[in-house]
Chain A
Amino acid sequence: MGLDIQTWVNVAAYIGGGIAMGFGAVGAAIGEGYTAAQASSAISRNGNAAGDVIKSMLVGQAIAESASIFALVVAMILLFTNFPATTPVMIPAVFGAGLSMGIGAIGAGIGAGFPAGSACIGMVRQPAVSNKLTTNMLIGSAVCQTPSIFALVVSFILLFTDFSARPISPTWAAVLGAGFASGLSAIGSGIGGGIVAKQSCDGIARQPAATTTITNIMLLGQAITQTPAILGLLVSFILIFKSYAASSALAPAMALLASGLCIGFGAIGPGIGEGVASSGGVAWVARNEKHTGEIVRLMLVGMAVAESTAIYSLVIALVLVFVV
């Protein structure tokens, strides 16, 4: 077959575009469905509040949608841009861009649906605090989007960087690994951030007097929950911008691909786990505000321990890039 590089770049761009939008649609749909289910359940308890509940359901769903809109943008760029076929590295680069954005949108979509659903339920329980609930929900869902923004950044860098001066092998594996690292690592942090925000909306409906404390602790917990995604972003940047010695052997290339997979998969568990830990802290600060200090201290210790396996993954990923 006498196919040239340009053909393969187009093939990779179209497959990448399909993956970006296909996976990118998963999370938002689940999150928004959860919100709608909670809103229906809330309206069935008190039909008079239907107007407020539907308003806040739509606002929450709009935010949960944003991750899949990023995926739509990347898919459109992949379909309609004429990528320069100066080097075969463009083939894995455009594919990796689709992979990063597609997988990276799953977590943020699911996560942002949780606080919106919980705010709908809370509004029916405590109609007097619906403004506070909406504000808290907006802050919480917005923070859930950060991992998908990391994935978007990496996918733009992969699309518009000029790789023509780099050696073909092992750069092809580095760009593919970078896509996996930022995409997979965004899943855990997105879902984890959503679990924290859900619990804080719940807590505000239960104990409106403690709103400020609850929102602060939620932000603290969400910030730490984002760290696994930041580690994934870090490894992606290292993989994309480090310069490699040309080599025709398979092992150096496989080490770079494995490095991306390692931090990508390794960040999923700690992201979700830290979210669960922090949701416990937020829930019980709402019930027992007097002992906020003790609860937050224990929450932070627990989150630090949950982070440890992400750090192990980072160590192995960095060893794969720099040592072996």
Chain B
Amino acid sequence: MAIEGADIIKAAAFLGAGLAMGLGAIGPGVGEGMAAAKACEAIGKNPKEAGLLTRTMLVGQAVSESTGIYSLVIALLLLFVV
């Protein structure tokens, strides 16, 4: 089986894309869960502020999501651009 340089580069890009998105998804998943757990606690303590708390939780989770989106962008770049 003759392996060419271009083939190896493509194979490495695919492997890199899979690892980037897979490993990159771990952190945001755990972090967003912690944010949601604390928000549930806060609503349990003070149900009247449900609207404000939901908004705060979503903003916090959106920021925590950002590294997941970076991973997605890098994975897509590795798959389709480089």
Contact = CB atoms under 8 A, between A and B. Distances in A.
Do the two chains belong together in a single complex? yes
The size class of the interface chain A forms with chain B is: 35 or more
Contact of B30 (A260, A273, A315, A323): A273
A262 B15 CA distance: 9
B18 A277 contact: no
Contact of B17 (A228, A303, A306, A320): A320
Contacts of B43: 284, 291, 294-295, 298
Interface stretch (A84-92, A114-122, A134-142, A251-259): A251-259
B39 A280 contact: yes
A263 B18 CA distance: 8
The DSSP consensus for interface residues of chain A is: helix
A18 interface: no
Contacts of B65: 305, 308-309
A266 B3 contact: no
Given A273-B33, A302-B33, A291 B44 contact: yes
Contacts of A285: 44
B37 A280 contact: yes
B30 A255 contact: no
Contact of A302 (B18, B36, B47, B68): B36
A174 to B, nearest CB: 13
B1 to A, nearest CB: 5
B22 A261 contact: yes
Given A250-B11, A320-B79, A298 B53 contact: yes
Interface of B: 1-3, 7-8, 10-12, 14-19, 21-41, 43-45, 47, 50, 53-54, 57-58, 61, 65, 68-69, 71-72, 75-76, 79-80
Shortest beta-carbon contacts, A-B, top 7: A302-B36, A273-B33, A280-B37, A258-B18, A269-B29, A284-B44, A265-B22
